[in-house]
Chain A
Amino acid sequence: MLKLSWWKYLTMALLFYTLIVGLLSDVPRLDIVNESIRNLYFHVPMWFGMIIILLVSMVYAIKYLRSNQELHDIYAVEAANVGILFGILGLVTGMVWAQFTWGTFWHGDPKQNASAIALLIYLAYSVLRSSLEDEQQRAKISAVYNIFAFATLIPLLFILPRLTASMHPGNGGNPGFNSYDLDSRMRMVFYPAVIAWTLLGWWLVSLRVRFSKAKNQLRTEAHAAQSEQLIND
């Protein structure tokens, strides 16, 4: 039997909790959103997870610039990849929710537009990486880009949508801290849901990092064998 680290069991338990309690527990009865209010447990954690994982990516980018260790670059890129995946899932789930509550898939809501721009900025990170041949140059340039990408993410998602009218709750005007009308029953599922989806994202990152490391090791071993043969010949 495979032994998993404790946090992976925690991830699975929290995911099942989110799904079952999230669908069956009592929620506020509101017009327009109706039962779709439960999307709070599935759509919003995608964005929370994305931001946390992209923050980790940026931290590893800074670490790479300080240490020049290849492993830090691998962490940065794989975290960015999972962050992009969560962002796409957040965008698509948001579009479905918008269709049935706001009336159109693309409402042009400031937060919707800004998150699409943020995703494009991160997709450009992938394009930038694949356009650079030299490994060290690629790692260094993309680490610098990563820091700027995260720096633009914050105003795009948290500041600009608050400066204009937005359909997203807590946006348009200054929400302060306690004016979120998040029900205390919903918090009991929402916070575990955020932890669950973020940990699942981190699980994916760790698998991709381990896969990348193994691939790199194979490549360097093959290189070493090849050059040894060249010397012998």
Chain B
Amino acid sequence: MKKYLISLLFILSSISPSIAQAPEMADAMRSNGKIYVVVAVLTIVLAGVLFYLISLDSKISKLEKELKD
């Protein structure tokens, strides 16, 4: 009986490191000190500002068209 217990412990202890290891996830955004998060945020900010600029551009275009008529 004791032999079985020891062998069971042995098996468990050999498994446990693989249990402690984190399951594989999509960690690209969390690697390198989360710099990719900053890149994502700045890209969103730039996209938002550019979108605003484009809408301003189109508004002025419409105004110019109205003034021409």
Chain A interfacial positions (CB closer than 8 Å to B): 2, 4, 8, 12, 15-16, 19-20, 23-24, 203-204, 207, 210-211, 213-214, 217-218
Among residues 35 to 69 in chain B, which have CB atoms less than 8 Å away from a CB atom of chain A?
Answer: 35-36, 38-39, 42-43, 46, 50, 53-54, 56-58, 60-61, 63-64, 67
What are the residues of chain A within 8 A of B38 when measuring CB–CB?
23
Residues of A within 8 A of B67 (CB): 214, 217-218
A24-B35 CB under 8 A given contacts A203-B53, A218-B67: yes
Q: 4 smallest A-B Cβ distances: which pairs?
A: A2-B58, A210-B60, A23-B39, A214-B63
Given contacts A15-B46, A19-B46, contact A207 B60 (CB under 8 A): yes
B interface, CB within 8 angstroms of A: 35-36, 38-39, 42-43, 46, 50, 53-54, 56-58, 60-61, 63-64, 67
A20 close to B60 (CB less than 8 A):
no
Q: Select B60's contact among A16, A19, A211, A217, beta carbons within 8 Å.
A: A211
Q: Assess whether B42 is in contact with A23, with CB atoms less than 8 Å apart.
A: yes
- In the complex, the chain A residue whose C-beta lies closest to that of B62 is A2
Rounded to whole angstroms, the CA-CA distance of A33 and B21 in the bound complex is 36
Q: Cβ of B63: which chain A residues have Cβ within 8 Å of it? A: 214
Tell me if A214 and B58 are in contact (CB < 8 A): no
- Whether A24 lies near B39 (C-beta < 8 A) is yes
- Taken together as a complex, chains A and B put the C-alpha atoms of A24 and B58 apart, in Å, by 33
- 8 residue pairs bridging A and B, Cβ less than 8 Å apart: A4-B54, A15-B50, A23-B39, A23-B42, A24-B39, A203-B53, A204-B53, A214-B64
Whether the pair B64, A210 counts as a contact (CB closer than 8 A) is yes
Q: Are A12 and B50 in contact (CB under 8 A)?
A: yes
The residues of A that contact B42 with a CB separation of less than 8 Å are 19, 23
Please name 12 further chain A to chain B contacts, defined as beta carbons within 8 Å, in addition to the given A2-B61, A4-B57, sorted by A numbering.
A8-B54, A8-B57, A15-B46, A15-B50, A16-B43, A23-B35, A24-B35, A203-B57, A207-B57, A214-B60, A214-B63, A217-B67
Give every chain B residue within 8 A of A203 (Cβ-Cβ): 53, 57
